[in-house]
Amino acid sequence: MRSSIWRLTRRLQDRSAFYAPSQAWVCRGCQQRLNSTTTSTNEPITVQEHQYETDEWTNAPAQILSSVSRRLHLQKDHPITITRKIIESRFPGFKTHNSLFPVVTTYQNFDSLGFQPDHPGRSRTDTYYVNKNTVLRTHTSAHQADVFRANESDGYLISADVYRRDAVDRSHYPIFHQMEAALTWDSNSLNGESLAKRVWEDLEALPKNSIEVLDENPTIHPERNPLQQEHKQEDVEAIAAHLKKSLENVVVEIFARAAESSKSTTNNVTEAPLKVRWVEAYFPFTSPSWELEVFWQDEWLEVLGCGVVKQQLLNNAGVPTRSGWAFGIGLERIAMILFNIPDIRLFWSQDPRFLSQFSESAQPLVSRFVPFSKHPACYKDISFWLRSSSAAGGMVKGTTSDFHENDFMELVRDVCGDLVEDVRLTDEFAHPKSGRRSMCYRINYRSLERTLTNEETNGMHERVRQALVEKMGVELR
């Protein structure tokens, strides 16, 4: 769950770092050592029938590449598929693209969308590279320009698997699913009407809803949410209103069902009216931009990102007479809420005790997932001194290291697969004299399907310790 869209504790920091300008450590050294186990140097990679050269940028592990074929959003009766279909049902007439190939160019994933050359989302700590110019898409927006260029419909929807290096916990998995949508109006087909007028008419035709909407900022703010120079304010006001109403309707569709299913099993749910709020945001490919948050179980949940499509993107895609809106939503997060699924790893389970609980023909369509077992967790700590990246070998006060947390996360996944529930930093300090940094992580081992033996857990933990020394050059404490 993911997407910029996951605002819980520090994951907000990881995910939105992807879009907003912020600092990220790029750590080539660690990556190169990690690569030595994940893919062997310069041997081509095959993803389904496609072959790719590899190079010093390659960091996509075999384990991830082999899951490319799973395409959970297309599996019959899978909760991700059901969630996709619920959202699709809100956009009649939109053309759907559900089988776009996940290996894309860095141009598609970043440049076509206006990501700056030094954007942190491009770093090898955040993104899986097949080679220098080729990545596993990190978001469905990677296909926007191509789908606009095909110019087959005013509205389109793209659902797909997306890939990001990230934390290990119950709401993060390196592969997840997003849905992208866009609606544009072509100024050549307005028959003399103004764009604003046409958009307001189309808005009138959308279903009405009665949710409480908090939207306290002006549509356009000169610094925080600027009007694009190619656009007229009255058009953007209309497009933004259409976008917001369309998305409020999506939220009603999802959260009314979620409320219904939790009511059926929980007695103490009070029936408060659904409440949403619009928050100003930044994406390189929209302006103005927003995130939509929903008040759900006593907290504000960030649900999606959206905005008015950058005209430059449409111009470059050969459709300069079009303008309109786009949004992107993470499907796992929504499915977890809809079906009350507690751990993102469950989506990948092939266990019939999981899969048999969902059906596209069930009545009601959405019901609460019943955990089939809760196997015991076992946590173990790991503490280590970071290797310093300075030539002096780490003895200089204040030196930094080339350690990046995502590399550690990946190493744990590499060794333990899905048997780790979460990995958390529990302590970090710098030695007062040498400046060397020490880290302590807690790894929580738990299988979703069986009880792990002590031997097994100890063995895995020992392998993590060894790998950490070998691949990341740390000194265990």
Selected from 110, 278, 282, 327, the binder of ligand DAH by CB under 6 A is 327
Q: How many CA atoms lie within 13 A of 371 on its CB side?
A: 11
When asked if residue 139 is in the footprint of ligand DAH (CB under 6 A), the reply is: yes
When asked if residue 4 is in the footprint of ligand DAH (CB under 6 A), the reply is: yes
Dihedral angle computed from the Cα positions of residues 183, 187, 189 and 193, in that order, rounded to the nearest 10 degrees:
110
- Closer residue to ligand DAH (CB): 328 or 394: 328
- Closer residue to ligand DAH (CB): 180 or 421: 180
Selected from 148, 156, 283, 403, the binder of ligand DAH by CB under 6 A is 283
Site map 246..265 versus ligand DAH, x via CB under 6 A: --------------------
Site map 154..193 versus ligand DAH, x via CB under 6 A: --------------------------x-------------
Would you state the structure tokens that stand for residue 19, as one six-digit string?
A: 């879009």
Q: What is the DSSP letter of 372?
A: S
When asked if residue 287 is in the footprint of ligand DAH (CB under 6 A), the reply is: no
Spatial contact of 63 and 413, defined as CB atoms under 8 Å apart: yes
Q: What is the DSSP letter of 134?
A: E
At closest approach, how far in Å is the CB of 21 from ligand DAH? 15
Q: Which of residues 194-233 bind ligand DAH (CB under 6 A)?
A: none
Q: Nearest CA to 72 among 98, 94, 95, 104?
A: 98
- Closer residue to ligand DAH (CB): 286 or 388: 286
Spatial contact of 225 and 288, defined as CB atoms under 8 Å apart: yes
Q: Count residues contacting ligand DAH (CB under 6 A)?
A: 14
- Closer residue to ligand DAH (CB): 193 or 230: 230
Selected from 5, 72, 167, 378, the binder of ligand DAH by CB under 6 A is 5
Distance CA 401, CA 437 (A): 8
Greatest alpha-carbon pair distance for the chain in Å reads 75
Span from 2-10, 187-195, 245-253, 350-358 in contact with ligand DAH (CB under 6 A): 2-10
Spatial contact of 469 and 364, defined as CB atoms under 8 Å apart: no
Selected from 103, 306, 346, 366, the binder of ligand DAH by CB under 6 A is 306
- Closer residue to ligand DAH (CB): 290 or 384: 290
At closest approach, how far in Å is the CB of 4 from ligand DAH? 3
Selected from 61, 121, 174, 305, the binder of ligand DAH by CB under 6 A is 305
Selected from 328, 387, 414, 445, the binder of ligand DAH by CB under 6 A is 328
Would you state the structure tokens that stand for residue 102, as one six-digit string?
A: 């996940």
Q: Which residue has the tokens 């954007």?
A: 119
444's enclosing H/E stretch is strand 437-445
Span from 82-90, 246-254, 305-313, 411-419 in contact with ligand DAH (CB under 6 A): 305-313
Q: By beta-carbon distance, which residue lies closest to ligand DAH? A: 328
Who's near 285: CB < 8 A, 6+ residues apart?
113, 114, 141, 144, 307, 309, 310, 313, 326
| 329 φ, ψ (degrees, to nearest 5) | -135, 140
Selected from 79, 121, 284, 307, the binder of ligand DAH by CB under 6 A is 307
- Closer residue to ligand DAH (CB): 164 or 471: 164
- Closer residue to ligand DAH (CB): 310 or 436: 310
448's enclosing H/E stretch is none
Span from 22-30, 33-41, 167-175, 325-333 in contact with ligand DAH (CB under 6 A): 325-333
Dihedral angle computed from the Cα positions of residues 279, 280, 283 and 289, in that order, rounded to the nearest 10 degrees:
100
3-state helix, strand, coil in the chain (%, to 5): 35, 25, 45
| 358 φ, ψ (degrees, to nearest 5) | -125, 140
Would you state the structure tokens that stand for residue 192, as one six-digit string?
A: 């003399």
Spatial contact of 244 and 217, defined as CB atoms under 8 Å apart: no
Question: Which residues contribute to the site for ligand DAH (CB under 6 A)?
Answer: 3-5, 139, 141, 180, 283, 286, 305-307, 326-328
